[in-house]
Structure formats: structure tokens, C-alpha cells
Amino acid sequence: MPTPSTFAPVALEHASRLINHGPTVLVTSQDGARRNIMAAAWSMPVEFTPPRIAVVIDKQTFTRELIHASGTFGLCIPGVAAIDLTYAVGSVSGREIDKFTHFDIPAIAGPVLGLPLLETGCAAWMECRLIPEPHTEDAYDTCFCEVVSAAADPRAFRNGHWELDASNGDLHTIHHLGAGNFVRAGDSIKARPLK
């Protein structure tokens, strides 16, 4: 039975802010009993209202197969606490193993699409519906989606904004540099108006 959510809902008009700073994401997918999770380093918002996201997912992956079969996927935003898990799920194929079982990953069921979503070690998640764009999917491995629900850990994302500081270091988002090396987002800094 899925774990109940401890995250606070994020208004859809603020969903693009969850990834506008370019964090590594965990892509979850499910078609019937088949499910998978993988890491993706390239994602970004492409529209605010409705919130739309682009994410690069190689056409040869099991994740793409499941996304095309179901028309849906989840985007989870791991924090520093999930760095080892992020690297692990990005290093093996889900065709051979159920990564959720193999790595003992607790998941909740998304409130709108029922997708497996991660909260443990993560700062936020989004449930997404694929927007079919065959040319960009085939030519550039870029998938577009519309966010239909989003939530975040209120210790790190409140009132539509990231609030990263020393008190929530385990939730600071991670950014992949290659070969298992990551950098984490630092503390939030507020700009002052210039006169």
C-alpha cells in the first residue's frame, strides 16, 4: 500500500518554479503493473499557464516505452538526501529489474494520475500528461508534458518559492555534472532592487 503524502500542494501556476533552476529529476512511469524510475539531467519549463515541461528521455529507455503506453509520467525532484539513489536509478535499466523493489524505494500514489511518486529524500514532485510531439521525441529525445498536479516539502518550497537555507540542506536540489558527480543548490539569496 502506498505511503500517504506529507507534501503540501503547489498551485499549478507555480509548478514551473519547481524546475526552473535546472535540477536533476527522477522520472517515474507506469503502465499497468510495469513501472520504472530513472534519472534525467535535462528538463525545463516551457510554458507557465498551463504549466508545461520539456524533459530529455532517450527513445531506447524502458521509461519511454512506459510513457508512450500510458501517456503519463511523474517528475520527482531529489534533494541531497537522495543523491546515491539518483545515481543508482540512473545507472541501471528497468527492463531487467523493478528498481522500486530492488532499491527499496517507498512511493506514494499521485492524487490525479496514480503515478508512483517519491517524497523520501525529495523536495517536490509533479504528475504529468504527455503532450505527443513525435518529431521532437524522435529527433531530439525531448518529451513535452503538461503538469496536472504538484506538491513540495514545505520546509524547502513555500508560498510558490524555493526557500533553501542551512535548515533544509538535505532537500537542496542536485545538478548532475557527469560520471556520478553532482553539485547542490546553495542557500537562497534575495536580490535587492537597483535604483
User: What is the residue extent of each domain of the chain?
Assistant: 8-184
Q: Is 14 exposed, middle or buried (0-12, 13-18, 19+ CB in 10 A)?
A: middle
* Distance between CA atoms of residues 28 and 73, nearest Å: 6
Q: What is the pLDDT of residue 190?
A: 84
pLDDT below 50 — which residues of the chain?
A: none
CB 146 within 8 A of CB 129: yes
pTM above 0.85, yes or no: yes
* Distance between CA atoms of residues 189 and 172, nearest Å: 14
Task: Find out if CATH 2.30.110.10 is the number for domain 8-184.
Answer: yes
Amino acid in the structure at residue 172: H
CB burial string 175-195: b at 16+ within 10 A, e below: ebeeeeebebbeeeeeeeeee
Q: What is the pLDDT of residue 31?
A: 97
